[in-house]
Every structure is written in structure tokens, then in C-alpha cells.
Amino acid sequence: MDFLNALVAFLNYVFVPGVAYGSQLALGALGVTLVYGILRFSNFAHGDTMAMGAMATVLMTWLFQGWGISLGPLPTALLALPFGIAFAIGLLLFTDRAVYKFYRVKKAKPVILVIVSLGITFIYNGVTRFIIGADDQNFFDGERFIISAREFKAATGLAEGLSFRTTQGITVVTAVIVVIVLFWFLNKTRAGKSMRAYSDNEDLALLSGINPERVVMITWIIVATLATIAGVLYGLDKSFKPFTYFQLLLPIFASAIVGGLGNPVGAIAGGFVIAFSEVTITYAWKKILVYLMPENLEPSGLVQLLSTDYKFAVSFVILLIVLLFKPTGLFKGQSV
Amino acid sequence: MNETMKNTALFAIVAVMILSVGFQSSWNSALLIVAMGLVSSIMALGVNLQWGFAGLFNVGIMGFVALGGLAAVLVGMPPTEGAFAAGGLGVISALLLGAGTIIAAIFVMRKMTPGWQRTLVVIAVLIAGFFLFRGLLDPSVERIEEINPAQTGYLGGLGLPVLIAWPVGGIFAAAAAWVIGKTALGLRSDYLAIATLGIAEIIIAVLKNEDWLTRGVKNVIGVPRPVPYEIDLQNNPSFVERAAGLGFDPVEGSTLYVKLLYIVLFAAVLLILMWMSQRALHSPWGRMLRAIRDNETAAEAMGKDVTARHLQVFILGSAICGIAGAMMTTMDGQLTPGTYQPLRFTFLIWVMVIVGGSGNNLGAVLGGFLIWFLWVQVEPMGLWLMNVITAGMAEGSALKEHLIESAAHMRLLTMGAVLLLVLRFSPRGLIPEK
């Protein structure tokens, strides 16, 4: 029995990665949920919007690195992030003008907009691959660890090390700041209030003099910002590869639906539910159980419920369960 | 110009484009385009049933197609020597146990009164079932995968004629569609899209990782064929003589002959399905579906069971995609789970349906041929375009190399643009619904 080592192993392999991944999903799901709440369709292009924003950031980072500008221990990507966001805002506003607006004015069915967003997905995906290629790109620099496993072991004398990577720290801190600012904006400012009013009841909002085009514009700006931040954080933490962003769609949608589509609090909760389910179900628990069990009861296998290749299956099963039992999500989302 | 003439002209244009490939490059590529065009048309027919008739948005076509491919392997491949004895019973009983667990959980859900006790019992049943399932499955899988892993290492198939796999593929896809439809239909339309997106990813993940079933990324090659092998034809003196009589050398003659046979088979399937779809479209059932599509509330008020009709048509459409998937794997002669990409197998089919004309079966077939042709031709065209653009640049410059290298990604862009343009300017497609 070695409780302390088990706890450290749990923190190192389950808790910290789960929190970081959960923050990334939460930011992605917030974007999806906002589009759903205001524009009333499921935006399939969100994953590739993340890829586009991240791509712009990666390119700026390389430029800065070429000029020799850096942020010291922090990754240069943080400095490039505002440029990536600006690019994504321009891109989304342009897309809205060129594509979505037509269908909005026509009051097309939501499913048509979903198909349109699928078309946008592939154009974005094509452009991303065209510009930066389909391969993994590394754009991380600066200090790798806040706490490295070796230092931790030396400092505490435990057998298990706890490592806390810079990217994980940045992810969590950024996510917290973004969420606070977003909720302040939605609850305290005039523009935010008009957004919520529009989301609750379009007709009443129009009657009280809210300009719908302005609401839509603000929504796209916020969505672009959230998507770029989520994309860059995911890229820093794992790696930047265009196709992975398309695959992120499923966990992101699962997060948004689990929390309740259209509900920002739900999106955050959903992100963490999905992330922790994925990590706990695909983690090989042997290491932790070895510390907790008496020696003769130690598990012989890896005690891994599902191989990591099935991590999509986890979000999918959770999605199915929620659809079956609580279609509006854990927090009350919009209509079924 | 009346409608029949316009439609004939459209098909003629596609035919001329394919013929020009035959004259300019080779008849083999032209026939391959025709064969794959037929398979694509069948997939488009299935999706048209879901979208055109009923307005259901299925983003998981790839998964249903892949299930058809799995059927081709499970039916057509010979059984692996000793694999069934080693672990076949274990795997089958594990799968039955898994199904039994879910049925037991549903039974508990239905029979017990709602409350925390029911929740606990359901969770307990599921967890116990899962561990029993893994306990039974894992050792059997290990034993199966130990058998000659370089060559087999999987259960193999039933060794039956591969043509049987085509309807079986349809049944596999239908079963998956039933599960999805049961959960996601009757809710918002977007939920079906997300659920199908998910099931497709999972089916591909299963095919890639369950080596005992499909050899995973090691691929199953040499799926038996319903048509003769080229090499046998080339060794057959009477065939060589006949080919020579038509002015072909034995190699070219045999490859063309095999492709023609496939085309005949595929065309037969397409004609049968086309006839059935047309009958369905003009039947009371088809009218009811369109009524539901155009105004769900009104149809429901008239006493139509909207969710049940949706479930029916969703299963039928997916089954057609499964059949097409089995046909495609049969022609390829191999199952390569790594090649299933959402772009190629989901998105492309959608472009076919929308461009061809949603709600019109003939349109779906036209879209299938036309878009498949474009899909094959866009890459060389993109490369040519890039060569023209970069012609003035210095040899070996980084930008030039990058542009030429990126030409392969033109497909994504082109298909996305085609879809958006058609949706915007001609949302009813080339052959609109009547």
C-alpha cells in the first residue's frame, strides 16, 4: 500500500492531462454552443476553423522565431495568438457574408445550414492543407516543464514523478481567463445581453430593437476568438495536424450536447465530462493499482478498459446515453 | 426542350467525357471510371433515399460502406485453419454476452420503477457485463492472433461465394443504422448528423484495431472474386485467340474483359435498386415520406408515425450504402481500413446527391457518374494548373515546389466549392425533383 505514490501517479497520468484536455474541449464546445444558440445550426466547420486559426498562429510564430523574437520561458505562439485571432475573425466574417448570410436571409432550414457548414469545412480543410501541408507541425518553444518529473522526484523522494508541462499550465490559465471574460461579456455588457436575448427569443429581441446582424457579427467574432485559442492550445499541447481538428468535432459536439446545446455553462461542464471519461476509460490503471493493492492481488493485465484507439467511442457512447435519457443535456439546453 | 431530352443530353455529356478518357489515355481507366461510377451511383441512391425522400442528414456514409467491406471479407475469405478452434467460440460467446448485457440492461430499465435503485442496477449490470465480456474476449483474441500473424492472424471468413456478401453487407449496415436511428431519430435533425458522424469513426476504429476480425491495418488481401482472374484468362488459349480476333493483346484484353464483367454485375445491381427506388418514390409510402419531409407537423397531425417512417427509410438507405461498400471491396479485392476517409466516402457522396438533384433517383445516378469523373480528373487538372501557374518561377524555388506538392489537396477545395455553388445557385440540382 503506497497511497501517496498512487495519488501522484493519478495526478500525473489522469488528472492533469484530463484538466488540460477538458479545457481545450470546453473552449471548442463554447464556440459550437454559441453558434447554435444564436445562428441555430450545428456548425460542422468549427473544427476546421480551429485549424485555420491555429495555422495562422503557427505561421506568425515561425515568423517571430525567424526574427529572433521570443517570450523567454513562454512559447512564442502566445505572442502570435492575437494575429491568429484577427485572421480567424476576418475569415469567419467573410464566410458569413459570402455564404451563411444568404441562407439566413432566406430563413433556410437548419439542416441546410449544416450541409453548407460541411462544405465550408472542406474548403477550410483544403486551404489549411494547401498552405501548411497535411503533416505534423511543431511550433512549441520556450520552457518545456513547470514541474518536471525528475525535479519532483528529487524534491519529494517519491518513486512516482509528477510532471506539469508549460502547455498544460498555459491551457488551464488561458481557459479560465477566457471563460471569465466571456461570462462577464455575456452577463454584464449591452452587446452580451442582446446576444442572450436574441438566443432566448428572436422575435422579442427584434421587437425590442436589437439589430440581428450586429448580434450575428459579434457572435462570429467571439466564436473565431474561442476557436483560435482552443486550436492553438490543442496544437501546443499535442501537435498541430490539420486532420486531427476534423476528428475533434465529435468530442466537441459531444461536450456541447452533453452540457446542453446553446448553454455556455453546459459546454464547459460537458467538456470536462467528456475529457475525464476519455482519459479514465483509456488509461491503463495497472500502475496506480499496483500501489494500492496488496502484493498478492496485483493485477496481471494493464487494467485498461479500452485501448486509446477507441477514445472516440467514449465520447460517442456518452453522447448516445445523453440523447437517450436527457436530450436537452445536463444543463438545460435549447429545444430538443 | 422537354425533360427527357434534357436528361438524355446530360447523361450523354457524361458519357462523352468518359469516352474521351478512353480515346485519350486508356480504355482501362475509362472502364474503371464507369465501374466506380456505378458503385458511387448506388451509394448516391441510398443517400438520396434518406435525404431526398425524407430529409435525413446522414454524415456516416463512410461507416456503412466500410461495414459492407467487412461483409465481403467475412463471407468471401476462406476460414483460417485452426483459428475457429483456437478462439472462435470464445469470441462468439463474448459477443453474445455483450449483446445479452445490453438487452439485460434495457430489460431492467423497462421493468423497474424509475429511481436511484434502477440506475444503480443498470450500471451494475453494464459494468459486470463489460468485465465478463473482456475476460472472455481477450484470451480468445490473443489465441486467434497468434496463428501465423504475418499471413492470417484473424478468424477468416466463411469461404462462401463473394456475391452473397453484397446483401450481407446491406444487412450489416442496416443493423448499425437501426441502432443509430433508434437513438437519434425523433430528436432535432442535427443530432442524427452528429450521431452518424460518430458511428462512422467508431466503425473505422474497430476495423483498424480488431485484428482478429479484419487483420486491422495489415489489410486483408485476395478477397475472392465473382469473375475470372486476368492471369487465368491470359493462359487460356481460346480467350487469347478471341482477344486477338478483336485486335487486343492478351494482357489488355483480359483486364478489359474483367472490368466489363464487373460493370455488368454492378449495372444489374444498380438497375434493380433503381427500379425499387422508383417504385418506392411513386408508392403511397413514398408520398407519405415526402409529405413528412415537407411538413412534419401536418403529417403527424394526419396520423402518420413520423419517427417510424424515418427509421425505415434511414435503415433502407444505409443498407444500400452497405451493399455498395461490399461491391467496392469485392472489386478492389482487398479491405484496407486505412483508406476509409470521410472526404472520400461521406462528403463526396453528398456532393453527388446535391449536384445530381436531391429527391430524384435519376439525378443521384447522374451525380454519381459526374462527380466521380471529376474526382478522378481533378488531381491531374490541379497539377496541370499548378504547373501553369508556376511556369514562370525559378526552377527549384521553394514556393514552386510547395505549390506543386499541394496540388493533391485541390480535391478538397474543388469539391467544397462545387457543393457550395450548387447549393447557392441551383439548390435543386441538375435533374430536379418533379
Region label for B148, one of left (φ > 0), alpha (ψ between -120 and 50) or beta (otherwise): left
Region label for B221, one of left (φ > 0), alpha (ψ between -120 and 50) or beta (otherwise): beta
Question: B215, B153 in Cβ contact below 8 A?
Answer: yes
Taking residues A311-319, report their average pLDDT: 85
One-letter amino acid for residue A28 of the chain: G
Give residue A1's pLDDT. 62
Q: Is B31 exposed, middle or buried (0-12, 13-18, 19+ CB in 10 A)?
A: buried
pLDDT band (50, 70, 90) for residue A334: low
Question: B47, B317 in Cβ contact below 8 A?
Answer: yes
Which residues of chain B neighbour A121 with C-beta distances below 8 Å?
A: 416
- Which one is predicted more confidently, B276 or A316? B276
Q: Do A111 and B189 touch (CB under 8 A)?
A: yes
Selected residues 282-311 of chain A with any CB under 8 Å from a CB in chain B: 301, 305, 307, 309-310
Q: What is residue A137's three-state secondary structure?
A: strand
Give the gap in angstroms from C-alpha B398 to the nearest C-alpha of chain A: 13
* DSSP class per residue in A239-268: -B-HHHHHHTHHHHHHHHHHH-TT-HHHHH
- Which one is predicted more confidently, A87 or B396? A87
Q: Where are the beta strands (DSSP E) in B75-192?
A: none
- pTM of the predicted model, to two decimals? 0.89
> Which among B187, B197, B411 is the nearest to A249, CB-wise?
B197
Cell representation of residue A294:
496488496
Cell representation of residue A221:
467574432
pLDDT band (50, 70, 90) for residue A231: very high
Q: DSSP 3-state helix, strand, coil percentages of chain B (rounded to 5)?
A: 80, 0, 20
**Beta carbons within 8 Å of B134's beta carbon, 6+ residues apart:** A305
A71 backbone dihedrals φ, ψ, rounded to 5°: -105, 25
Around Cβ B264, how many Cβ atoms within 10 Å?
12
The residue count of chain B comes to: 434
Interface membership of A134 toward B (CB under 8 Å): yes
CA angle A185, A188, A194 (to 5 degrees): 75
Whole-angstrom Cα distance, residue B6 to residue A300? 70
Question: B125, B101 in Cβ contact below 8 A?
Answer: yes
Which residue positions in chain B have pLDDT lower than 50?
A: none
> Which among B195, B209, B409 is the nearest to A323, CB-wise?
B195
Cell representation of residue B405:
506538392
Give the gap in angstroms from C-alpha B341 to the nearest C-alpha of chain A: 10
**For residue range A283-298, what is the model confidence (pLDDT) as tens digits?**
888 888 888 877 777 6
Q: What is residue B410's three-state secondary structure?
A: helix
CA dihedral A183, A186, A191, A197 (to 10 degrees): 180
**Beta carbons within 8 Å of A97's beta carbon, 6+ residues apart:** none
Which residues of chain B neighbour A250 with C-beta distances below 8 Å?
A: 194, 197-198, 201
Averaged confidence pLDDT in chain A: 88
User: In this structure, what DSSP letter does residue A147 have?
Assistant: E
Around Cβ B279, how many Cβ atoms within 10 Å?
11
Residue of A101, A118, A277, A278 to mutate for B, most B C-beta atoms under 10 A? A118
ipTM of the complex model: 0.86
Whole-angstrom Cα distance, residue A328 to residue A312? 21
Whether pLDDT at A335 is above 60: no
Taking residues A184-191, report their average pLDDT: 92
| Percent of the residues in chain A that have a pLDDT greater than 70, as a whole number | 98
The residue count of chain A comes to: 336
Crossing angle of the two packed helices B306-332 and B250-282, in degrees rounded to 10: 170
Question: B191, A319 in Cβ contact below 8 A?
Answer: no
Give the gap in angstroms from C-alpha B60 to the nearest C-alpha of chain A: 12
Give residue B177's pLDDT. 95
Taking residues A239-244, report their average pLDDT: 87
User: In this structure, what DSSP letter does residue B340 have?
Assistant: -
Q: Which of B350, B327, B262 is nearest to B60 (CA)?
A: B350
Whole-angstrom Cα distance, residue A261 to residue A37? 7
**For residue range A28-84, what is the model confidence (pLDDT) as tens digits?**
999 999 999 898 889 999 999 999 999 999 999 999 988 888 888 888 889 999 999
Whole-angstrom Cα distance, residue A79 to residue A76? 5
Interface membership of A104 toward B (CB under 8 Å): no
Give residue A336's pLDDT. 41
